[in-house]
A and B are shown apart, each in its own frame.
Chain A
Amino acid sequence: GQNIDQPTEMTATEGAIVQINCTYQTSGFNGLFWYQQHAGEAPTFLSYNVLDGLEEKGRFSSFLSRSKGYSYLLLKELQMKDSASYLCAVRDLERAGNMLTFGGGTRLMVKP
């Protein structure tokens, strides 16, 4: 089975940097995804990590450590529009890559 944990809520200030952590326990890890979901909208793809290290994409970066079962999403130069839920999801090798298991999501509130 799989267990994915991330903080329920976080608050940060506009212009600041915030790090959202995700820890996972899985029987067959085969990649980790981060999605952004605004209230009432579809989740949108942010990043994908399958090897250890940092992937940078503009203001967003994602890090993975497979040995520690740990990932984080780093958001820089926060903007009000970054207020959303951030979902960590793991692909399980035993499921032949056919599904993602999601954490409960982290609701980020950006304040002026």
Chain B
Amino acid sequence: DAGVTQSPTHLIKTRGQQVTLRCSPKSGHDTVSWYQQALGQGPQFIFQYYEEEERQRGNFPDRFSGHQFPNYSSELNVNALLLGDSALYLCASSLGEGIGHKGYTFGSGTRLTVV
């Protein structure tokens, strides 16, 4: 039973560039949420996708956008990268729009470094 898979695992980008991160949810899950985790911090909610729509959004600028495909996989796009965007980006999957008592299943993340 495949868990949540994210690609790439590591990425280095230059300030001002654009980046796309990818996520495949755990088998049987249909909802994908994205979190940003700065070094030594807890994860911060970016947004959630369900039924190919953005359902909830955290306090992140419009430079952060996403998409969900019919197979439930998802992409996170960040435009005009800033040094402060350097972080671990976590994808979390779940079944249904709400978070059940088992919470999310997280992927191992994509480590983005902006130089």
* Chain A residues near B (Cβ < 8 Å): 4, 31, 33, 35, 40-45, 48, 50, 87, 89, 91, 95-105
Contacts and interface: CB of A to CB of B under 8 A. Distances in A.
13 contacts: A35-B103, A42-B108, A48-B101, A48-B103, A89-B42, A96-B97, A98-B55, A98-B99, A99-B56, A99-B58, A100-B43, A102-B42, A105-B42
Nearest to B44: A102
A45 B48 CA distance: 19
Contacts of A48: 101-103
Contact of B48 (A4, A99, A103): A99
A98, A102, A103 — which one has the most chain B CB atoms within 10 A of its CB? A98
B76 to A, nearest CB: 15
Contact of A42 (B90, B97, B103): B90
* A-B pairs with lowest CB-CB distance, top 8: A102-B42, A97-B98, A98-B56, A42-B106, A99-B45, A42-B108, A43-B106, A104-B42
Q: Which secondary structure dominates where chain B touches chain A?
A: loop
B33 interface: yes
Given A31-B101, A33-B103, A45-B104, A101 B90 contact: no
B108 A100 contact: no
A22 to B, nearest CB: 11
B25 interface: no
B71 interface: no
Contacts of B40: 104-105
A102 to B, nearest CB: 3
Nearest to A99: B45
Contacts of B58: 99
A87 B42 contact: yes
A41 B108 contact: yes
A87 B98 contact: no
Nearest to B3: A42
